[in-house]
Chain A
Amino acid sequence: MSTRTGVDSALLTRTVSRRAVLGAAALTPVAAFLAACSSTGSGSSATASAKLTGQLNIYTWPDYFSKDDLAAYAKKYGVTPKISTYTDSNTLFTKLNSAAGAGYDIVVPSSGWVKQIAGKGLLEELDLDRLNLKNLDQSLLNRNYDPHNKYTIPKDWGLLGVVYDPDATGGEIKTWQDFFDAGAKPAVSGRIRMTSAAEETVGPALWVQGKDWNTKNLDDIKGTEDFLTGFAKHVKTFSAFDANAMASGAIVLAQANQAYARNAILLNPKLKWVVPGPTSELWVDSFAIAKNAPDIERAYQFLRYQLTPTVQVNETVFLGYPASLKGLKDKLPSNVKESDLIFGGPDVDLDKLTSFVVDPETYPTFQDVQNKVQAAAGA
């Protein structure tokens, strides 16, 4: 049953696995999907006996820590971290919110869900004096989803952008308006991939109007419905990003994060990537310590280890998403292909990007719009 739940969840979210393997031009969604499934199946039983067994229990996305780094940590401190996995933030929220969520030391919530999870009292307040945040990219700290980093510190981050074939779109894409305009062109219509994450569908339609996607105004959110359901007929798929479909030309315009885009561009170098204006999404997957963690000391020890510069570089190379170290770009090994893209390209200004924060008052309305858009796309 847990496998089935994981599978279903994976199908419905934008990310099958957050990890995009470096240079993994051959990584098909199939492989990623199977990896996600098997990890979920095998790793769903953390125990609460960390103190007795010398374990550290981590609940995270599949394939989200470099095995070499974990092995090095185990060797140094004599503790082998036990990893359990989820395939979307909703599952993390639901599980921590239930009796089954006991016994974890470290969890890795995405920025959008931090407020909800912390708000339910499910995370420990961090003692920032015990962690050295000075080496981290300051743009990733003190953001709207967790002011003053009360509960979380950044692990790695990603962007919502667009990868496209300029021959099909007939020109450059610079803004979300360009994205929607290009989508309606005959050479592009029916060859578009959008995400199934409601905020990433509704968000761009709000940004085009100069509105904030963290709005409390339900009318603003509902106001995107007519436009988006009208646009839906151009969309081919809301399923997981498929680099091969972009290589074959089945998809010529796609919402994607930078790691997925990088995979597609490694397969088909004529594709282009952009983080459209006026703004777009920055998501930050974050380290947090679960409330009543069995071994808080060890959790801090693990976080300090993760924040060391060598580990930060290793994790970035392994994940294809940047860790949070300041000046990381210059520290990557020279054999990493398209390394600029790991950071979203040369022109990305993190301060201009915005992070979504799940709000129980508005989130169901986002979902309603998403449902209607997906329904309209298949009508």
Chain B
Amino acid sequence: MRRNTGDHVLAAVPLAWLAVLFLVPLGFTLVYSFGTSGFGSVTLGFSLDNYAQALGPLYLQTFLRTLAFAVGTSIACLLFAYPVAYAIARRSGRFTVVAFALILVPYLASLLIRVMSWQILLAQGGPLERILRAVGLLRSPLTVLDSLPAVVIGTLAVYLPIAVIALTVVLDRIPPEVVEASQDLGARPSSTFWTVIVPLSRPGVATAALLTTVPMLGELVIPVLLGGNKGLFLAQAISTQYAQSQNYALGSAMVVLLVIAVGVIVALLVRLTRGFDAAGAERGAG
């Protein structure tokens, strides 16, 4: 009984923290989203006008474009991250820590510094152009900066470490016995990979997808710095409503819709992570 009380107290601290710093502001946002906006003020009430506007052609298009960007870039991120994670988890031996460090060290630098480094690298007349020219792969000036491909490159670079770590953790937990059993039963390495390792790493894939897609939906810095602030993304649209138009009500409605969309994505991915406990339990039993 006493132990239970202690547990509850312990749980109450982070819960209170979460309630004050997350749920309360979110509650305000929800209330504002039904209000009527003045310039830098909101009159509370119940109106669905903001939602009608947030679902209008421009913002709906912006939402779909942002969703396509986030999902597409997240998939690309996973495709790059998987081989790296596989190598670290199953092939790096005593160099695992070093490999992890190499992945993590850049991640410790501020996001801005990393994105701006890419701005310098990709600039016309910059280092990448000089390298490509030197090896004969490029004759004309490099014009990739301030375009969608530059945004994708920067986003991949920024989110790759997260995906690698999420995948490595799961790949590392796949019991060697399972792989050995597959080989003993005559499976070729490629069949073992596709029929044993990939399905067992599903929770890692889902976690990595979650940890990359969701923040990409709210990405603001990278499109501005590498994409020339062109081609509206959702975070820019929301930020404009709050900061420029001073329309907190419409901004709030857009935030609520985004939170709902993120909720749906999380729910879908949570279904995929169900195998996680099973994989861990097998190893524990083995």
Number of interface residues of B (CB under 8 A): 38
Q: Interface-forming stretch among B7-15, B28-36, B115-123?
A: B115-123
Give Cα A91–Cα B246 distance, bound, in whole angstroms.
10
Give residues 70-99 of B contacting A (CB, 8 Å).
none
Give Cα A371–Cα B243 distance, bound, in whole angstroms.
13
**B contact residues around A8 at 8 Å (CB):** 220-221, 239, 243
**A contact residues around B146 at 8 Å (CB):** 236-237, 239
A377 touching B240, Cβ below 8 Å: no
User: Taking the complex as formed, is B270 at the interface, i.e. its CB lies under 8 A from any CB of chain A?
Assistant: no
Q: A12-B243, A90-B243, A237-B146 are in contact. Are A377 and B236 (CB under 8 A)?
A: no
User: Taking the complex as formed, is B272 at the interface, i.e. its CB lies under 8 A from any CB of chain A?
Assistant: no
A192 to chain B, nearest CB (A): 10
**B contact residues around A368 at 8 Å (CB):** 58
Name the residue among A91, A94, A364 with the largest chain B CB count within 10 angstroms. A364
B228 touching A364, Cβ below 8 Å: no
B113 to chain A, nearest CB (A): 8
Question: Considering only CB atoms, which chain A residue lies closest to B110 in the complex?
Answer: A37
A378 touching B220, Cβ below 8 Å: no
Give Cα A372–Cα B236 distance, bound, in whole angstroms.
12
Question: Considering only CB atoms, which chain A residue lies closest to B126 in the complex?
Answer: A248
Give residues 242-261 of B contacting A (CB, 8 Å).
243-247
Partner of A97, one of B40, B228, B240: B40
**A contact residues around B224 at 8 Å (CB):** 11-12, 239
A117 to chain B, nearest CB (A): 10
Give residues 352-379 of A contacting B (CB, 8 Å).
360, 363-364, 367-368, 370-372, 374-375, 377-379
**B contact residues around A30 at 8 Å (CB):** 116, 119-120
Q: A30-B116, A375-B232 are in contact. Are A11 and B143 (CB under 8 A)?
A: no
Q: A7-B112, A375-B61, A379-B231 are in contact. Are A90 and B125 (CB under 8 A)?
A: no
A237 touching B125, Cβ below 8 Å: no
A11 touching B221, Cβ below 8 Å: yes
Give residues 229-250 of A contacting B (CB, 8 Å).
232, 235-239, 244-245, 248-250
User: Taking the complex as formed, is B230 at the interface, i.e. its CB lies under 8 A from any CB of chain A?
Assistant: yes
**A contact residues around B247 at 8 Å (CB):** 364
Give Cα A181–Cα B123 distance, bound, in whole angstroms.
27
**A contact residues around B123 at 8 Å (CB):** 244-245, 248, 250
Give residues 138-176 of B contacting A (CB, 8 Å).
141, 143, 145-146, 148
**B contact residues around A198 at 8 Å (CB):** 244
Q: A367-B245, A378-B230 are in contact. Are A11 and B124 (CB under 8 A)?
A: no
B195 to chain A, nearest CB (A): 42
B125 touching A250, Cβ below 8 Å: yes
User: Taking the complex as formed, is A116 at the interface, i.e. its CB lies under 8 A from any CB of chain B?
Assistant: yes
Question: Considering only CB atoms, which chain B residue lies closest to A248 in the complex?
Answer: B125
Question: Considering only CB atoms, which chain A residue lies closest to B231 in the complex?
Answer: A378
- Interface mask (A99-117 → B, CB under 8 Å = 1, otherwise 0): 0000000000000000010
**A contact residues around B203 at 8 Å (CB):** none
User: Taking the complex as formed, is A93 at the interface, i.e. its CB lies under 8 A from any CB of chain B?
Assistant: yes
Give Cα A248–Cα B125 distance, bound, in whole angstroms.
6
**A contact residues around B42 at 8 Å (CB):** none
Give Cα A193–Cα B250 distance, bound, in whole angstroms.
29
A12 touching B39, Cβ below 8 Å: no
**B contact residues around A370 at 8 Å (CB):** 240, 244
Partner of B239, one of A12, A97, A360, A374: A12
User: Taking the complex as formed, is A156 at the interface, i.e. its CB lies under 8 A from any CB of chain B?
Assistant: no
User: Taking the complex as formed, is B201 at the interface, i.e. its CB lies under 8 A from any CB of chain A?
Assistant: no
B231 touching A375, Cβ below 8 Å: yes
**A contact residues around B220 at 8 Å (CB):** 8, 11
Question: Considering only CB atoms, which chain A residue lies closest to B151 in the complex?
Answer: A378
Partner of A371, one of B39, B58, B143: B58
**A contact residues around B232 at 8 Å (CB):** 371, 374-375, 378
**B contact residues around A63 at 8 Å (CB):** none
B282 to chain A, nearest CB (A): 42
Question: Considering only CB atoms, which chain B residue lies closest to A239 in the complex?
Answer: B229
Question: Considering only CB atoms, which chain B residue lies closest to A377 in the complex?
Answer: B230
Q: A11-B224, A245-B123 are in contact. Are A94 and B230 (CB under 8 A)?
A: no
A250 touching B245, Cβ below 8 Å: no
Name the residue among B61, B145, B148, B232 with the largest chain A CB count within 10 angstroms. B232
Give Cα A116–Cα B224 distance, bound, in whole angstroms.
28
**B contact residues around A248 at 8 Å (CB):** 123-125, 141
User: Taking the complex as formed, is A200 at the interface, i.e. its CB lies under 8 A from any CB of chain B?
Assistant: no
User: Taking the complex as formed, is A33 at the interface, i.e. its CB lies under 8 A from any CB of chain B?
Assistant: yes
User: Taking the complex as formed, is A9 at the interface, i.e. its CB lies under 8 A from any CB of chain B?
Assistant: yes
Give Cα A8–Cα B141 distance, bound, in whole angstroms.
30
**B contact residues around A374 at 8 Å (CB):** 229-232, 236
B112 touching A363, Cβ below 8 Å: no
Give 5 new A-B contacts, CB below 8 A, not counting A12-B244, A363-B246.
A90-B244, A198-B244, A250-B123, A250-B125, A367-B240
25 residue pairs A–B, Cβ–Cβ below 8 Å: A8-B221, A11-B221, A11-B224, A12-B244, A34-B112, A88-B243, A94-B246, A116-B39, A196-B229, A236-B146, A237-B229, A239-B224, A239-B228, A248-B123, A248-B125, A249-B125, A250-B123, A363-B245, A367-B244, A371-B232, A371-B240, A372-B58, A374-B230, A375-B61, A378-B232
A-B pairs, 10 with minimum CB distance: A378-B231, A237-B228, A360-B39, A378-B230, A250-B124, A238-B229, A377-B230, A375-B232, A248-B125, A11-B224
